[in-house]
Structure 1
Amino acid sequence: MCNRRLPRVLFGRSVARVQRSATNNRPRVVHISTAHPWEDNRILQRECRALSQSGYRVELIAGTEVEREVYGVHIHPVPPERGRFRRITRGVPRALLIARGRRADVYHLHDPELIPLAPLLRRSGASVIFDAHEDLPNQVLDKHYLPRPTRKAAAAFAKALYWFAGYSCHQVIAATNTVANRFPSHRTTVVRNYPQLRQDVEGEYADTTANGLRRNLLVYVGEISVDRGIYEMLAAMKYMPESWRLTLAGPVHPPTLLDSLRREAAWGRVDYYGHVSPGEARNLVARSRIGIVVLHPTRAYVDALPTKLLEYMAEGIPVVASDFPYWRGIVEEESCGLLVDPLDPKVIGEAMSGLAAEQARAEEMGANGRRAIVEEFNWGREKIRLLTMYRSLTGFDDICGDDDEVEHD
């Protein structure tokens, strides 16, 4: 599977060891991330959990202080580092040291800074997967921490790094079709970051609309920053009835922004929970009436999969979302919310207040969104893609196979 134009020593041995070991034992899979939190939705809650449930021995090396086991996944701690430079110069070597000691059959890398580790990990005979969560070459063009004159050079470097991943890893997983276009098609699998149904998470789906748990709450869950529309959300609150409040959950970036937000007049109508677990975030959404996702029109968001939007839909609440072409294909097609100019607080506020005033319409949109998740935009379908790709690498006949059930209402 290696690119023969590049030196053989770069890649090490083939995947034969993986196939031999899989016939005698369950393959050991080690996921590695130094940039994401250990409980990350895509990494732990979806991919690691799915592999563990399917019979693989799964371990995760990620930023945390505590060793633990969750969902049958063993978590190896790498103390989180503050700042990108320290994370790369200290966190990555620590992760590599732990990874090589695990003698895995498959190493699954989740961060661009881990791509240079691929040749080193391959030399043990293991297969290596790179999981591309985002279109990095495009996104760095909007990174506020990079001086503008350096951004094109950074984008070129990111493009070269992705090229290297495409030819030094056995397989690439891409979160969207746009990201997949950066890599060789014959070794790239698209596994979208679709939400899990509550049946998959808790054994059953709690209909919060029917049992009256909904409150007069707008909700935003995720990283809180200027380019994710925090100031527009706060400004739009003046168009909402006084009985309504805004629920925010997630880290503030940069942390100093929080002091500025607290000085805003609308902050008195905010319930801020800080960083919460994925389960807690889901419960906050479930008791709200309207989900907000008004990200700014940057390269990082316009063509990205709107995961938050889908998570709101999964809980059966209508959405007020940025009017991006990609997102329009979901919101308009499924009639599950309203699209707005994310830079115009008045338009955002009028959309929010309109849904607040027309409860029957809002509930119908929420039901439409929920139906779309059940029928199409759910993790159960994407999990099959993940397991099929793993099976092609390891030869392991996982216990779930292609007969994964998708919940239906």
Structure 2
Amino acid sequence: MADARNGTRPHVVHLSNLHHWDDVRVFQRECCTLSQHGFRVTLIAKSSTARTESNVEIVPAPPLRGRVHRILFGIPRALSAAWKQRADFYHLHDPELVLLAPILRLRGARVIFDAHEDLPVQVLHKHYLTTATRRLASLLAKALCWTASRSCDHIIAATSTIAEQFPSKKTTIVHNYPKLMDKVDDATPYQERSHSIVYVGGISTSRGIREMLSALEFLPEPWHLTLAGPVNPPTLLDELQEFPGWTRVDFHGRVTPDEARKLVAQARIGFVTLHPTPAYVDALPTKLFEYMAAGIPAVVSDFPLWRDIVESLDCGILVDPNDTSAIAEAAKALIEDPARAEQMGQNGRRAIAGEINWSREKEKLLNVYQSALSKDDSMQA
């Protein structure tokens, strides 16, 4: 295995058929961190072109049509692309890719699985599946977790709940906290920002878009909703444009992370009113951290994990995400008391500058890799 101390950088390949190359966790957090700390990093993910960004080599993996194509064609394609790299580490970001772990280890590579979600629980709430299909999918998800536990050298989990699916002795929790550099300069004082409520991220029914638009109708002019992110399914956009509140929406579609931060930086309130599905209830609210970093308060779904953050830091207002009137009333409370809203934003920003940031989490990530290198050194000694 390559050794940075001997003049050769250990080669890490991050692999995904599902994520876009500029995914915040995959690229912005993990790939860039490893590149900055002496690793040669290649990212195989959705991209239109091959290029190098932040010293990370991007190898395009063209989009696949649907879940069946991901399984039938995505897995062998990912194996072919990964095998060509002859890397020291393979870092897998899609659950089905753990099936490649035994093959990739044949070359003496270390294989790490990055568990972003509690997959066995999540698939039970996929409403487009029949009850029987959901149960079967959950069993298959558990089988993939079992496979990862036994075939991968290490598991990185995004939350403590996700980590419970895997052996504790080979699992490290790496929270998806924002980088300190993600903080937005306070060039525009809070009270001088536009009368904007912002939502940045995937736009779908389960993420509360209908409730956000409905709540907007009850808010005073000139307040509007700044909306950025991909709409899923794309046909949903036609329905959303029929809402009376759509006339007060500034819609940007999919934007880059830098563009998203600029939009958040100009807003006064953030929406994080995702529905209570396992995919969200047991996950850390990345959007909330982004709003905190920008110094704005948020209207937040009242989930136990999220409640602990919001109440302890006093950085937002908790609501039932299915209750349009509750969302509207929370936004009104922040609009009508700008001093309180600004204070909540400052509270969140201090927390990001203190403990809730990537500077601590990246040390856990680096330790996983350095520990593997140390083991190899000891075996070769």
Give the counterpart of 1:367 among 343, 346, 351.
Answer: 346
Give the counterpart of 1:227 among 206, 218, 222.
Answer: 206
Equivalences for 1:63-102 in 2 at 5 Å?
63-102=46-85
Paired residue secondary structure (1:108): strand
Matched, 1:328 2:307: yes
State the match for 1:306 in structure 2: 285
Matched, 1:282 2:265: no
**Which structure's relative contact order is higher, taking Cα pairs within 8 Å and 6+ residues apart?**
1
For residue 209 of structure 1, report the CA deviation from its aligned partner.
4.4
Q: Taking structure 1 as the reference length, what is the TM-score of the superposition?
A: 0.89
What amino acid sits opposite 2:151 in the alignment? S
Matched, 1:170 2:128: no
Give the counterpart of 1:342 among 296, 306, 321.
Answer: 321
Aligned CA RMSD, in angstroms, stands at: 1.5
Give the counterpart of 1:108 among 66, 87, 91.
Answer: 91
State the match for 1:60 in structure 2: 43
Matched, 1:118 2:101: yes
For residue 263 of structure 1, report the CA deviation from its aligned partner.
0.8
What amino acid sits opposite 2:223 in the alignment? W
Distance 1:273 1:143 in 2: 28
Pair 213,66 (structure 1): closer, same or farther in 2 beyond 3 Å: farther
Paired residue secondary structure (1:193): coil
Paired residue secondary structure (1:321): strand
For residue 208 of structure 1, report the CA deviation from its aligned partner.
4.2
Distance 2:74 2:133 in 1: 25
Q: Taking structure 2 as the reference length, what is the TM-score of the superposition?
A: 0.95
What amino acid sits opposite 1:307 in the alignment? T
For residue 23 of structure 1, report the CA deviation from its aligned partner.
4.2
State the match for 2:230 in structure 1: 251
Distance 1:327 1:51 in 2: 29
Pair 324,144 (structure 1): closer, same or farther in 2 beyond 3 Å: same
Distance 1:209 1:158 in 2: 47
Distance 1:96 1:368 in 2: 46
State the match for 2:143 in structure 1: 160
Distance 2:6 2:171 in 1: 25
- Residue 203 of structure 2 contacts residue 232 of structure 2 at CA under 8 Å; is this kept in 1? yes
For residue 90 of structure 1, report the CA deviation from its aligned partner.
2.0
Paired residue secondary structure (1:30): strand
State the match for 1:148 in structure 2: 131
What amino acid sits opposite 2:80 in the alignment? L
What amino acid sits opposite 1:299 in the alignment? P
Paired residue secondary structure (2:270): strand
Paired residue secondary structure (1:239): coil
For residue 275 of structure 1, report the CA deviation from its aligned partner.
0.5
My pick for the range that moved more, 204-213 or 302-311, is: 204-213
What amino acid sits opposite 2:242 in the alignment? R
Distance 1:209 1:184 in 2: 47
- Residue 309 of structure 1 contacts residue 319 of structure 1 at CA under 8 Å; is this kept in 2? yes
State the match for 1:14 in structure 2: none
State the match for 2:18 in structure 1: 35
Paired residue secondary structure (2:107): coil
State the match for 2:378 in structure 1: none
For residue 145 of structure 1, report the CA deviation from its aligned partner.
2.5
Equivalences for 1:166-205 in 2 at 5 Å?
166-197=149-180, 200=181, 205=184
Deviation per CA, 1:171-193: give whole Å up to 9, x if none. 00000000001001111010000
Pair 31,114 (structure 1): closer, same or farther in 2 beyond 3 Å: same
For residue 144 of structure 1, report the CA deviation from its aligned partner.
2.3
Identity %: 58
For residue 357 of structure 1, report the CA deviation from its aligned partner.
1.1
Matched, 1:377 2:356: yes
What amino acid sits opposite 2:198 in the alignment? V
Deviation per CA, 1:27-82: give whole Å up to 9, x if none. 00000010011110000000000000001000000111200100100001111112
For residue 96 of structure 1, report the CA deviation from its aligned partner.
1.4
Distance 2:129 2:108 in 1: 38
Matched, 1:357 2:336: yes
- Residue 184 of structure 2 contacts residue 265 of structure 2 at CA under 8 Å; is this kept in 1? no
5+ residue gaps in structure 1? Answer: 1-17, 397-409
For residue 304 of structure 1, report the CA deviation from its aligned partner.
1.1
- Residue 22 of structure 1 contacts residue 394 of structure 1 at CA under 8 Å; is this kept in 2? no
Distance 1:161 1:284 in 2: 38
What amino acid sits opposite 1:206 in the alignment? D
Deviation per CA, 1:303-326: give whole Å up to 9, x if none. 111111111111110010001111
- Residue 19 of structure 1 contacts residue 393 of structure 1 at CA under 8 Å; is this kept in 2? no
For residue 234 of structure 1, report the CA deviation from its aligned partner.
0.6
5+ residue gaps in structure 2? Answer: 376-381
For residue 395 of structure 1, report the CA deviation from its aligned partner.
3.1
Q: How many residues align?
A: 375
